[in-house]
Structure 1
């Protein structure tokens, strides 16, 4: 009898994407093990011994066939670094991790993502990233209207648009008190819309147009989703983004301003609830099939 592939999902049972992916994997004949990212314990020098507690028992993670990362919660610097380094260790032990620790490190940091894409020649907005108040103020003078974003963040939380130097002064002084980095990006008018493309492997499997009530187009901020068939040039930008970042799957946000496309963000643990509402493709099924193909079980 053929052995069932054993697929771990890093996340909790409360997560809707975790639930959907678990159902899809089980429907394809896999055994699913939920791994709480806060309950991983490493033992050294014993080989392959990263264990996770679940349902009163424990699981040796090195014995899984693959691990899909669906949650990597925040915490102290030590906690976050440890959780990522557990993924690195599991990869070193030969476990297929989707997405890889390296990819997550690249995409959790907006500066790192934008820098990698810009250096590869892909179009990104003009951006200034600094720890210096005076340099941040100079960026507003040079760029005009800007969007100030947290380097770590999602769902549009914490982003503000600034078009006044006095407001910039107040905002930047407040950020200075919290010892934050200034991530200052030129504002690109786009008619309050942009596009999210969902790339799995080397294909755009689905896409949506997001229309906002204002410049923020995140679904979490009240934007609406519409079905969208991306033009070849837009699709290729998303695919190139995935290749440059070495992503198994990724959500790529692109806006068009002045007739030119710009990559705004790449999400290494992308949600797909909004996208699923406007596509006939079962995105959890697509991802589950990709995972099993990667470990050569289908």
Structure 2
């Protein structure tokens, strides 16, 4: 149902609908991409998901899980709180604090606090670049989200989790450091060790996601770190690379969550 058609009614006959479709009586709701819009539009759309949950509809992923995973700081904090390995990160509004963090970390990825598919991410490894990038962020009154760059030879892993199982995983490769398939990276099926699989499951659990795309990065010392958790992941490229029936796994999960 289109988010743009949402109508919430508070009063003698409270309801929530999308155009002519009543949503209050839905057996289960699968949330997909929340379209871009103004701050008020985004808040209203997430409020609608909260209201559906409050009125008894199972929402997958929940509004709270979406709020957590679209906010990179919140995701990073939850991963650390749950004892999961994740790159050192500094988030601030003060440009002097940002410069101090850059000088300490040395090689960083500057990311928008909200965003996906690698959009808006910039690697900064010298003072001149840092000055230019930080100046732009200051001018737009943005927030500095600075994450230590983990060398990865242009490859990472996306694990797709549904419920308490990992449905499939792909290794993504690219000539540069951005490996997103949507940005030109290639994908191939990969079998994960039990350690990596459990790490992906724990990461999804940390943010409260019913289904998620978990990005894992091999480290130079032979370990692994959790880079991000996507709470509204696509799966077309993953299905094409692995042959896994991700949509079927989601349908089965939704059937199990539907209210009687």
TM-score (norm 2): 0.97
Residues 202 and 242, structure 1, Cα contact 8 Å, conserved in 2: no
Instruction: Say which of 270, 276, 287 aligns to 2:239.
Output: 276
Alpha carbons 1:48, 1:61 under 8 Å: kept: no
2:4 to 22, 26, 38: 38
Q: Which ranges of structure 1 fall in alignment gaps of 5 or more residues?
A: 1-34
Equivalent residue for 2:229, pick from 252, 261, 266: 266
Hey, what's the Cα distance between the residues in 2 that align with 1:90 and 1:282?
28
Equivalent residue number for residue 83 of structure 2: 121
Partner SS for 1:254 = strand
Find 1:51's aligned residue among 9, 17, 30: 17
Structure 2 residue corresponding to 1:184, chosen from 146, 159, 163: 146
Does the 8 A contact of 1:67 with 1:97 survive in 2? yes
The structural deviation recorded for 1:274 is 1.3
CA contact (8 A) 2:157 2:169 kept: yes
Note the residue ranges of structure 2 that are not aligned, 5 or more in a row.
none
Alpha-carbon distance in 1 for matches of 2:168, 2:90? 32
CA distance in 2, matches of 1:103, 1:264: 17
Q: Does 1:235 align with 2:201?
A: no
After superposition, give the CA deviation of every residue in 1:66-110 in whole Å (9 maximum; x if it has no partner). Answer: 111112112111111111011101100000111000000000111
**1:125 partner SS:** coil
Aligned residues of 1:48 and 1:63 also touching (Cα < 8 A)? no
Task: Tell me by how many angstroms 1:131 deviates.
Answer: 0.5
CA distance in 2, matches of 1:46, 1:280: 50
Deviations 1:227-248 (A, max 9, x none): 1011111111110011122211
Return the offset for 1:280: 2.2
Q: Which residue number corresponds to residue 250 of structure 2?
A: 287
Matched, 1:193 2:155: yes
CA contact 2:58–2:259 (8 Å) conserved in 1: no
Higher relative contact order (CA 8 A, sep 6+): 2
Aligned mate of 1:75, from 37, 49, 65: 37
Instruction: Calculate the TM-score normalised by the size of structure 1.
Output: 0.85
RMSD (CA atoms)? 1.1
